[in-house]
Amino acid sequence: MSDPNSAEAPTFLNDLLPLTPDVRAERLSELKRLFPDLFTNEGRINPDELRQLIEPNEVHETERYEFKWYGKAASKREAFTPTTATLVYDESRSVNPDKADGNMIIEGENLESLKLLLNAYREQVKCIYIDPPYNTGEDFIYRDNYRKDRGEYWNEIGASEDGIKLESNPESSGKFHSDWLSMMQARLIVAHALLKRDGVIFVSIDDKEVHNLRRILDLIFGDSNFIAQVVWEGAFKNDARQIGTNHEYVLAYAKERDSLPREWGLRKEGVEPVLREAARLQKEFAGNWDEASAAMAAWFLANKAKPLFANRRFRFIDARGAYKEDDPTAPGGRKFDLYNPKTKELIPLRPNRGWAFDQETFNQYVDEGRISFITSTSVMKRTYFHETEKITPQSVVYQPARSASERLVRLLDANIFEFPKDEFVLQKFVEMASDPDSIIIDFFAGSGSTAHAVLNENLRDGGSRKFILVQIPEQTPDGSPARSSGYKTISSITIERVKRVIQGYGDNPQPISDAGFKVYRLQKSNFPRCEFKPDPAVDDAENVATLRRYIEEKEAAFFLTLDADGEQAVFDEVLLKNGFQLHYTRTRREDFTNNTVYEVRDPRRSALVCLAWNENIHDATIKRLRELSDNGEHPFFICLERSLSTTTKWNLKHFLGNHFNAF
């Protein structure tokens, strides 16, 4: 049954544009959980923030919240404004793309790129690390020209070989801090939406803006989700006049702290060799634990120069593994009598000491073989290495900055990037805050240290974590070592670093055979309709009618010129904006004989897709979709608007409902 003459809901301009989700409309659903920034510190809804949400076109620069700056409301609006941009696959710069499995490096402005990821990766990201510009007055401001002057931005990053030039933010500017705060707020709002409920963000920052950054994060994440302000201590500097600054900070916030594991742990350095040697000696000496322990102690002495020597107290071996012996008493411990459960003799306390456990626990330890009787009245408690191989992360991290610089020079064969972040420290963040199958994002990617850290952690624990890096194609300075080495943009350094980590480098290359990544470039939409400019002198209905004619004329000519790469780009854009991750699979469905229909799947969803521009959706296709729906499969169907007649569109909407989208 169909009724092509039935009245349809009114069409708006945005209904015909290939947009990312309008987050503003969705925010009203789960305010407290997903968007704590709409609430005051007292837990009350902030009416100014709600007014900004409901009236997006009104300027409200008088927020009553105690932390405000010029441009705050505008930057929030910018974060919630959908984008028509897209990501275009760059095969020539991708590495082992058949093994990428979701690993991506995106070359482009990061706010637009994050918006494009939002539909497919919303609440899918476990860990975010960023090292944003520190607002030193140097070139750093991400100019948002894609919004203020779209043509200029696309010319710069779509057509300019050298990449985008950034503006400076001198301290003499009256908006020195405001510009930086606005830049950060917009990006952190979208980052918050990407994180899973048990996700965590780590943000590096220095003294100049750490107090402001923490207040922004309190606004967006909620101060109850603050985890720690980590001090990252580096090498001492001798150029200070009063006090030499040899540290920076990393702010850690959870999406929902109550959803995090009760404890985080970091594996001690040198763990794997100790476990391997203990297992070898257990097998070799097969019950002769005195000889096994002597061999273990000798092994530690032979490895003094290595990190594992810090674990040398675990020099004893028994059937359970390597262990150390500790005095079970401590100053201030409990004062009571403890007896040998076998001989019933009293075990005396040392002066000013107390027992760490009671008689019942002591008896249990004896039964488990965890107590060593030196004499019948003198004991030691065994602590096994495999039970203590993890430590609680500390709030102070020491790693000299020059170490990361020196390693990057060896990796890239040139000194072309100043102050790269240390991949070993970032690996610790990845280890403590992610699972083996997590997605990790860095949208100020720089030299690519985060991807390096993810790859290292996967090698360590056999995980399959995915990384997504975003780096604007900021051009390297004329005459710089990077430019002289052939790197015209920072993003080209990002790509090259990750490429060499995967393919191997140095005198003894160690390629990672099962890893790869795809490169995508941020570009304007493939659909010409996005260039349409509505006439403010006419009403919405007339603009919609004009846009429909524009689509028919311009896109007919556009599709005629498409080659295979162009068709793939259109396919990627449509799927990305319908919530599909870009490492989807595509299979031709042979049960649709009158239209070219593909079944598309990513890790979370599937759909049937027909994007053949020169095919009208056939009645037989509708019949087959109805059969699948009646059989309980409820397929999601995506096609081009131009492939539909009024009758066909009505029929599809009638039985597919919200499982149908015409692009």
Print the SS3 string covering 455-471: HHHHHHHCCCCEEEEEE
Q: Which residues contact 434 (CB under 8 A, 6 or more apart)?
A: 126, 127, 440, 457, 465
**Domain match, 619 and 565 both:** yes
Burial per residue of 12-47, b for 16 or more beta-carbon CB atoms within 10 angstroms, e otherwise: eeeebbbbbbebbeebeeebeebbbbbbeeeeeebe
**Domain match, 497 and 513 both:** yes
Instruction: List Cβ<8 Å contacts ≥24 apart for 434-437.
Output: 434/126, 434/127, 434/465, 435/126, 435/463, 435/465, 436/461, 436/462, 436/463, 436/464, 436/465, 437/463, 437/464, 437/465
In a domain, 2, yes or no: no
Q: CA-CA distance, 568 to 167, in Å (whole number)?
A: 35
Contact 212, 205 (CB under 8 A): no
Q: CA-CA distance, 167 to 165, in Å (whole number)?
A: 7
Q: CA-CA distance, 252 to 229, in Å (whole number)?
A: 6
∠ Cα 60 66 69 (to 5°): 50
Give the residue among 640, 523, 621, 620 at the shortest CA–CA distance from 571.
640
Task: Quote the pLDDT of residue 237.
Answer: 59
Domain range for residue 170?
A: 23-260+401-523
| Secondary structure of residue 331 in the 3-state scheme | coil
The burial of 170, by beta-carbon neighbours within 10 Å (0-12 exposed, 13-18 middle, 19 or more buried), is given as exposed
Two tokens, residue 243? 């006090």
Q: CA-CA distance, 374 to 366, in Å (whole number)?
A: 13
**Domain match, 516 and 547 both:** no
**Residue that finishes a domain, picked among 323, 357, 390:** 390
**Domain match, 112 and 215 both:** yes
Q: CA-CA distance, 450 to 420, in Å (whole number)?
A: 10
**Domain match, 360 and 446 both:** no
At 384, which amino acid appears? Y
Q: What is the count of structural domains for the chain?
A: 3
Residues in the chain: 663
In a domain, 418, yes or no: yes
Two tokens, residue 661? 């989208």
Residues 253-278 have pLDDT tens digits of 999 999 998 888 887 777 888 888 99
Give the residue among 188, 123, 200 at the shortest CA–CA distance from 432.
200
- How far does CA 592 lie from the centroid of its chain? 38
Q: CA-CA distance, 421 to 202, in Å (whole number)?
A: 13
**Domain match, 510 and 588 both:** no
How far is it between the farthest Cα atoms of the chain?
101
Q: CA-CA distance, 275 to 271, in Å (whole number)?
A: 6
Give the residue among 573, 581, 575, 594 at the shortest CA–CA distance from 643.
594
Ranges under pLDDT 50 in the chain? 1-7, 28-29, 63-65, 144-150, 154, 156-161
In a domain, 91, yes or no: yes
**Domain match, 189 and 275 both:** no
**Domain match, 353 and 215 both:** no
In a domain, 395, yes or no: no
Task: Quote the pLDDT of residue 1.
Answer: 42
In a domain, 640, yes or no: yes
Q: CA-CA distance, 56 to 69, in Å (whole number)?
A: 18
**Residue that finishes a domain, picked among 362, 390, 418:** 390
Q: CA-CA distance, 250 to 394, in Å (whole number)?
A: 12
| Secondary structure of residue 511 in the 3-state scheme | coil
∠ Cα 129 132 136 (to 5°): 155
In a domain, 168, yes or no: yes
Two tokens, residue 48? 């100014």
Q: CA-CA distance, 492 to 189, in Å (whole number)?
A: 27
Task: Quote the pLDDT of residue 145.
Answer: 46
**Domain match, 644 and 578 both:** yes
| Secondary structure of residue 316 in the 3-state scheme | strand
Torsions phi, psi of 309, nearest 5? Answer: -65, -20
**Domain match, 549 and 630 both:** yes
Contact 455, 497 (CB under 8 A): no
For residue 193, the tally of other CB atoms under 10 A from its CB is 24
- Calculate the CA dihedral of residues 385, 386, 392, 393 and round it to 10 degrees: 100
In a domain, 53, yes or no: yes
Burial per residue of 383-392, b for 16 or more beta-carbon CB atoms within 10 angstroms, e otherwise: ebbeeebbee
**Domain match, 371 and 311 both:** yes
**Residue that finishes a domain, picked among 332, 367, 390:** 390
Q: CA-CA distance, 447 to 417, in Å (whole number)?
A: 7
Backbone region of residue 229 per phi and psi (left: phi > 0; alpha: psi in -120 to 50; beta: other values): beta
- The CA–CA distances, whole Å, from 379 to 75, 349, 358, 374 equal 65, 11, 14, 6
Give the residue among 179, 107, 116 at the shortest CA–CA distance from 142.
179
Two tokens, residue 542? 């007339």
Contact 209, 99 (CB under 8 A): no
* CATH code of the domain containing 506: 3.40.50.150
In a domain, 247, yes or no: yes
Torsions phi, psi of 195, nearest 5? Answer: -70, 145
Q: What are residue 381's DSSP bridge partners? A: 326, 371
Contact 262, 305 (CB under 8 A): no
**Domain match, 431 and 568 both:** no
Q: Which residues contact 537 (CB under 8 A, 6 or more apart)?
A: none
Torsions phi, psi of 499, nearest 5? Answer: -60, -45
Torsions phi, psi of 174, nearest 5? Answer: -65, -15
